[in-house]
Each structure stands twice: as C-alpha cells, then as structure tokens.
C-alpha cells in the first residue's frame, strides 16, 4: 500500500510539472544572422555588432551559437574585450621639446632642434624658443611604447592617453595630437580640450588627451588656443595580454535620452542590451553648468543599484571655445539600467534634456568552419547555457591565422518552421501529460482494488466467527437477566419487612 501511494504522488508531481512547464523549442532563438566569410579557411573570427547585443537575453552573451548549413552547432570561443586588459594602466613621465611654428612642419631632426640617439631617444641641440614663439611640443614617449622587435612581434604596451599637467591656474584651450615612429610620417592620434580653473581653493581640471591605444614612439602636440605653462607630461600605458586576439576599437551608442526621475536631480536611461560599457559621455543641456554627480547601474528591476562612477559634470563656454567634462571611465559594465544622481544644491542641470553616449568594445567570436555553408549566428534564448570554449582549446595550437568573417543581415525565420517547432513541443507535452495521467489512474485503480479486496476478506472473517455462538450466548444472557429480576423484588420485600 505504501508503494502505491508513493507511485501516485510521483505521478501527480509529473502531471503538475508538465502542466506548468513553458512550451519552447530547445533550439529556438529569437534572431539569426547570416555570416559572410571566404571559402577555404578552417577558423574564422567575427566582431559582434550592436545588433547581436540588442538581441541577446544574457549578460554574458551565453545564448550565442553558430550553426552550419545542416543546422548543426559548431565549436566556438568568445573573447570579451574586458578579458584583454587585465592589468591596470600605469603613468610614465615623458620628455618634450618646444618647437617654433616654422619647424613644426619639418621632417628633419636637425631643423627640429633635436638629435636622435641610437636607442631612438631625442636630445635637444638648441635652446628652446620662447613661449610666445612656439605652438607645438615634440614628445618622446621613450621605452613606454616600444616598437616591434626583430621577430616582428607587436609591442606589449599601448598608450591610452597623454596627461598634460598645467602650471597655469586658469587655462582653456583645444589641442590635437599626431603620432610617428620616424619623425617623418605623421598620423592623427587624438584631440581634446584642456581645462584648468581655480576658484576659492577648488580646482576644476581636464588634463587628459585620449590616444586610444597608439604604439608610436613620438607624439606631436599642437596648441590651437594659446600655449600655457606646462609642468610635466605623462603617458598612460596599458599592458596588453600576449594573445592573438586583435583589440577591437571602441563603438559609441549616441543619443541615449535620460528621463527625469521622481526625485530632483535624478535621471534614468537604458542601453537596450548587455553592452560592456567602459565609457560614458554625459552631455549637459545648458552651457555654464557645474554639478557633482554619481552614476549607478543594475542588471534588472529586481537588482539593487550599485555605484560605478562619480565626477563633477561641467559645460563651460568661453568665447569660441566650449569645454565639457571628460568621459567617465568604467570597468566594463553589461548592466542595462542606469541612474544618474546630480547634486541640486546649486541648481543641478537646469532645464533641458540630459543625453548620454555609451562607449564599448565588442567581443570577438572565433568558430570552426565544420560542415557545409551557409553559416549562421543565432542569439536570443533565455534558456540557453553558454557552450563556448577557450580560444586556446579551440585552436589546438593551429599555426593558421583565423580568417575574418562578418555578421550580415538578420534572417527572418519561416513561419511554418516556428509553427512546426511549437507544435512539436506541444505534442511532446501532451504525450507526457497523457502518460502521467495513465500512470496516475492505474495506480489509483490498483489502490481501489486492494482496498475492496481487503474489505471483503474482513467481512467474511467477521461473519464466520460470530454464527455458532449466538444462541448459547443469548440463552445465558436471558437466564442471567431473569435471575436478576427475581432477586430484585425479594430484596425490596426484605427492605419493607
């Protein structure tokens, strides 16, 4: 009996589980993209565009898959940009040489007033020009950004930014930076607006010029709005992991509108996908605004807010020059919901709309071209679990370099395929329900049969044991009753006597 009840309980649990389980196909993804690649390579690497992030249901892109023409999944690795920069950046002091306007465009080191030593370092050969007679600085980054060695291996450091420490207490101006390895061929490396304002013991400064990973030995800094006094210059260097993954350039999601919250100085915005945001550019609505702010993020509505950055936001207008606060630097953050809290004691941001630009570096997906084309990339499944392997395990020491592939247009799934997939899932669930119900009914019938048989056996045992003894017992009972009735009157008579 105990086994029957246990079986019934399990059957009921199966029925409840099947009834409450969601209907989905194991291989159903919300979006699929065509992969465009050249024939003949064994491995391909593809940079994931914003459309893949927008379609993903997972913060770690665990629902990304690659399928061949037969619909079979192929092995792949997924290398996020944040995994390529594990070591924090460092600052290295650099040497710089003021150049007069005539020499700034020259390619000869003698006309620049410097000589190049055997190790590539620069040394001055003439007295520097007066501050009013120069508008360019020639910068030697030294060994902080070495060139490629004899083996052709790339250097292990990248220059993220040039930090210029100004002596002037009040300066605001634009600058541009060029980079070169031979002092002859120059290419643009960055631009910025430098700022230093001091008032009542407080200093507001912007001294950082983004270089975005240049590896050139020499830099050339042009002052566009007057030359200030410079105390020192430093190069922010980022050590790069020694792997074969190319560091992708930063992509910006522009024009994100932050809506005002229920509290004064509170603003909310969403990124729309699990983008690994590492830069935030907050565009203030009104010029001549200065306000401290704190930035928070969270993965979803049920998650608590966590602080990710704080800074003094400003937008200052000075004639033809307008200066804004620098970009906020973050650890790569895949949260979708963001909150900005501005100090309103001095008026906050005033009227207007706060807009945001989010900068991020896309992940690189490498896959094995197993099977026949066409290959497709699928994404968007909350039930999917990441099946990515490490890049080293995927390549298995292969000497061939992965060819470049590109994510093409989104593919529309045929309606009949979705209907067939959903119908198959419904049919499987119906079969499970019927099987569980049949087991439950069978077990209940077995319990009823055992109960009925036990009741019949018990009734037969009672009838057989009570029939022979009934008359004798009735007679004895009658005799005892009669005797008792006779004795009682006599007792009453004795009492009366």
Question: So what's the pLDDT on residue 303?
Answer: 94
Question: So what's the pLDDT on residue 374?
Answer: 92
Question: So what's the pLDDT on residue 491?
Answer: 42
- Cα distance between residue 266 and residue 304, in whole Å: 16
* pTM for the model: 0.66
Question: So what's the pLDDT on residue 448?
Answer: 76
Query: How many helical (H) and strand (E) elements, i.e. helices and strands, does the chain have?
Result: 7, 28
- Cα distance between residue 420 and residue 206, in whole Å: 60
Q: List all residues 6 or more positions away from 15 whose beta carbon is below 8 Å from its beta carbon.
A: 433, 436, 437, 440
b/e 281-298 (16+ beta carbons within 10 angstroms → b): bbbbeeeebbbebebbbb
Question: So what's the pLDDT on residue 445?
Answer: 75
The kind and range of the H/E element at 458 are: helix 415-466
Question: So what's the pLDDT on residue 262?
Answer: 95
Q: Please name each of the domains of the chain with its CATH number.
A: 2-85+363-417 (no CATH), 90-239 (2.60.120.260), 251-358 (2.60.120)
Question: So what's the pLDDT on residue 438?
Answer: 73
User: In order along the chain (497 residues), what is the average pLDDT of each group of 10 residues?
Assistant: 55 50 55 89 92 91 93 92 64 90 60 81 83 86 55 61 90 92 91 84 86 87 92 87 60 94 96 94 94 95 95 86 87 95 92 95 93 93 87 77 89 52 53 69 75 70 52 43 40 41
């Amino acid at each position: 009996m105990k086994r029957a009840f246990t079986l019934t309980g399990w059957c009921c649990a199966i029925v409840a589980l099947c009834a409450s389980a969601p209907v989905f196909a194991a291989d159903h993804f919300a979006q699929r993209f065509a992969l465009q690649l050249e024939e003949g390579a064994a491995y391909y690497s593809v940079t994931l565009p914003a459309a893949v992030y927008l379609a993903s249901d997972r913060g770690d892109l665990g629902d990304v898959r690659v399928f061949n023409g037969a619909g079979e999944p192929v092995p792949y690795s997924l290398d996020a940009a944040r995994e390529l920069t594990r070591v924090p950046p460092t600052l290295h002091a650099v040497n710089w040489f003021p150049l007069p306007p005539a020499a700034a465009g020259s390619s000869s080191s003698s006309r620049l007033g410097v000589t190049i030593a055997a190790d590539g370092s620069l040394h001055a050969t003439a007295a520097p020009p007066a501050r009013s007679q120069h508008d360019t600085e020639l910068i030697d980054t030294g060994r902080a950004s070495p060139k490629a060695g004899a083996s052709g291996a790339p250097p292990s450091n990248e220059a993220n930014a040039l930090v210029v420490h100004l002596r002037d207490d009040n300066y605001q101006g634009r600058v541009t930076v060029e980079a070169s390895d031979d002092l002859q061929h120059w290419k643009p490396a960055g631009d910025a607006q430098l700022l230093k304002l001091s008032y009542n013991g407080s200093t507001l400064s912007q001294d950082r010029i983004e270089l975005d990973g240049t590896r050139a030995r020499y830099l050339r800094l042009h002052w566009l709005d007057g030359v200030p006094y410079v105390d020192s210059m430093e190069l922010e260097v980022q050590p790069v992991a020694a792997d074969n993954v190319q560091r992708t350039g930063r992509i910006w999601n522009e024009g994100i509108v932050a809506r005002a919250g229920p509290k004064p100085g509170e603003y909310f915005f969403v990124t729309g996908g699990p983008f690994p945001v590492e830069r935030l550019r907050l565009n203030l609505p009104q010029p001549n605004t200065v306000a401290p702010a704190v930035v928070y993020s969270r993965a979803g509505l049920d998650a608590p807010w966590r602080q990710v950055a704080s800074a003094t936001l400003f937008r200052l207008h000075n004639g033809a020059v307008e200066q804004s606060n620098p970009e906020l630097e973050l650890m790569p953050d895949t949260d979708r919901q963001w909150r900005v809290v501005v100090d309103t004691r001095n008026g906050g941001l005033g009227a207007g709309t706060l807009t945001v630009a989010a900068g991020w570096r896309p992940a690189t997906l490498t896959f094995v071209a197993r099977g026949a084309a066409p290959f497709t990339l699928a994404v968007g499944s909350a039930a999917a679990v990441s099946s990515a392997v490490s890049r080293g395990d995927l390549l298995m020491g292969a000497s061939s370099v992965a060819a470049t592939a590109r994510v093409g247009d989104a593919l529309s799934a045929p309606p009949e395929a979705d209907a067939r997939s959903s119908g198959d899932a419904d049919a499987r669930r119906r079969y499970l329900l019927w099987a569980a119900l049949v087991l439950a009914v069978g077990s209940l019938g077995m319990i009823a049969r055992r109960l009925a048989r036990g009741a019949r056996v018990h009734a037969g045992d009672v009838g057989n044991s009570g029939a022979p003894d009934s008359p004798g017992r009735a007679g004895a009972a009658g005799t005892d009753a009669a005797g008792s009735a006779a004795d009682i009157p006599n007792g009453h008579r004795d009492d009366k006597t």
